[in-house]
Amino acid sequence: MTVYLYLSLIPEALIASMLTPEEFGAYYAVGSKKKSSGQAIFFEVNPDFRSKYFRIQEGLSRCTPHEDGTPKASIYISVYRVLEHVPIQELGQLFITTPDGRTLGLKHSDDLPSNDDGLHLYKEITPVTPLIASRLNPVDFYDLIIRNPTSLITLPAVAFTELRLGDLALDPALGQVRDLPYVNMDHLREVLLDLKTKPIATKMVDRINPASFAYRTVKNGFFVGNENDLRYYPMLPADVLQKEHYRWWRSANM
């Protein structure tokens, strides 16, 4: 049987598995008798990747079928500082799984999202999980938290997504909330107004924000980067999701 390498973002971990990405997503999200269920986001990693930071070969050798012949679902190789020690070029598709186990694969693109004049809302996924509002576009936001030499707080690597703000991106005070599901909207409006009126680039919305979030709130896609590279995984358009990935789209919108 084929053995796969996966880099999980919720929670951060490097995992060997005999399950295909779709099977692994269902197993990881829906859970078993010994684990709870929840959203899953993970990369497929080049199976030939090796590093002095991880005991990958040992993990692969332990990933063998059970006595009854069923595939081994997971062997954890590392659960600490994983993203920063996996080169971006070793990452394959990004898979996003709904809590009921529907998995969608996303490919990376060299075409970054176009800039706009509005405010932005970023959900950091790993290694930290705050919700951040900003005047910066995604690339400048990445530069700020990874490459800014004057900042006291930087990260060696980060995975994040930009979330929709709708009317609030241009008019935090009077913009319609519409279908935005965020809690404490009054606080979010205040943060966004501060960005409009004060000389600051970013401001914390929620420092203890949970790792999971609603996929329907993703504005453009997912970003992963370290000091050397930034890679963008665009979300598929809504009409494509409805037409070609209906079960995933329906699950994500429940």
Give me the numbers of helices (H) and strands (E) for the chain, helices first please: 6, 12
Indicate whether 163 pLDDT > 80: yes
CA 76 – CA 7 distance, rounded (Å): 10
- Mind listing the pLDDT tens digit for each residue in 98-138? 999 999 999 999 999 988 889 999 999 999 999 999 999 99
User: The tokens of 235 are what?
Assistant: 């979300």
CA 180 – CA 225 distance, rounded (Å): 27
Residue with tokens 């009126």: 197
Report which of 49, 40, 141 is spatially closest to residue 89, judged by C-alpha positions: 49
> What pLDDT, on a 0 to 100 scale, did the predictor assign at position 33?
53
Report the mean per-residue pLDDT for the chain.
94
> What pLDDT, on a 0 to 100 scale, did the predictor assign at position 115?
83
Question: pTM for this one?
Answer: 0.95
> What pLDDT, on a 0 to 100 scale, did the predictor assign at position 150?
84
Taking CB atoms within 8 Å and a gap of at least 24, the contacts of 105-109 are 105/21, 106/221, 106/222, 106/233, 106/234, 106/235, 106/236, 107/233, 108/231, 108/232, 108/233, 109/221, 109/232, 109/233, 109/234
- Mind listing the pLDDT tens digit for each residue in 26-80? 999 987 655 556 899 999 999 999 999 999 999 999 999 999 999 999 999 999 9
User: The tokens of 185 are what?
Assistant: 């909207």
Better-scored residue on pLDDT, 211 or 89: 89
> What pLDDT, on a 0 to 100 scale, did the predictor assign at position 21?
98
What order of strands is seen across the sheet that includes strand 131-134?
202-206, 131-134, 120-126, 157-163, 218-226, 230-234
